[in-house]
Amino acid sequence: MIYNVYVINNPENGKIYIGQTTNKNKGVWQLIYLEKYPNRKTAILREKQLKSYQGRKFIRRLIDMGV
Specify the pTM: 0.81
- The model's confidence at residue 66, banded by pLDDT at 50, 70 and 90, is confident
pLDDT one-digit tens code per residue, 20-55: 888 766 566 888 899 999 999 999 999 999 999 999
Question: For residue 18, how many other CB atoms are within 10 A of its CB?
Answer: 19
Element spanning 20, H or E: strand 15-21
- The model's confidence at residue 60, banded by pLDDT at 50, 70 and 90, is confident
pLDDT at 64: 83
Report H helices in 1-67. Answer: 40-51, 53-65
